[in-house]
Amino acid sequence: MWTDPDCPVARAVDVVGDRWSLLIVRDAMDGARSFTDFQQRTGIARNILADRLRKLAAHGLISQVEAPSGKRRWYTLTPAGKDLFAVIVTLRQWGERHAFEAGESHSILVDERGEVVPEVVPAAADGGPLTSDTTSVRRRG
């Protein structure tokens, strides 16, 4: 059941808002494919990982495919899962600004040329930046 049936943010948080789901999606974006990959990268307990993978699959964010070896199944992001890329990047950039002390070491996200990914900023139709001060929520209906 949705926490707030009319709010897209609430629905999204119901799907991926727990501690582990976005980390699983992050790791899938970074090449994790097997149950063991996810377990080793996150340190998540096996039963919780199995539950989160089932939940992500049930919501259409990941799917299982046969591994090239044919011995086990791999997890792969669906288009809906890949659509979380901007969320992951934005959350990462927020973390870089607010979750580390000044000068504290952390990983960085780079593009295929090795350049640091620029800050993600929502843009208005005219290209100008959007903020919480320049937007509002309207109910449809």
Region 19-47: mean pLDDT is 96
pTM above 0.85, yes or no: yes
Sign of CA dihedral 118, 122, 125, 129: negative
Q: Which residue is listed with tokens 């949705």?
A: 2
**pLDDT confidence bin for 121, thresholds 50/70/90:** very high
**pLDDT confidence bin for 1, thresholds 50/70/90:** low
Task: Using the predicted structure, report yes or no on whether residue 107 has a pLDDT greater than 70.
Answer: yes
- Other CB atoms closer than 10 Å to residue 52's CB: what's the count? 22
pLDDT of 3 reads 67
Q: Which two tokens stand for residue 55?
A: 């939940």
Q: Which residue is listed with tokens 């288009």?
A: 79
pLDDT of 2 reads 61
- In a 13 Å sphere around the CA of 55, the CA atoms on its Cβ side amount to 18
| Coil, strand or helix at 140 | coil
CATH class, range 8-83: mainly alpha
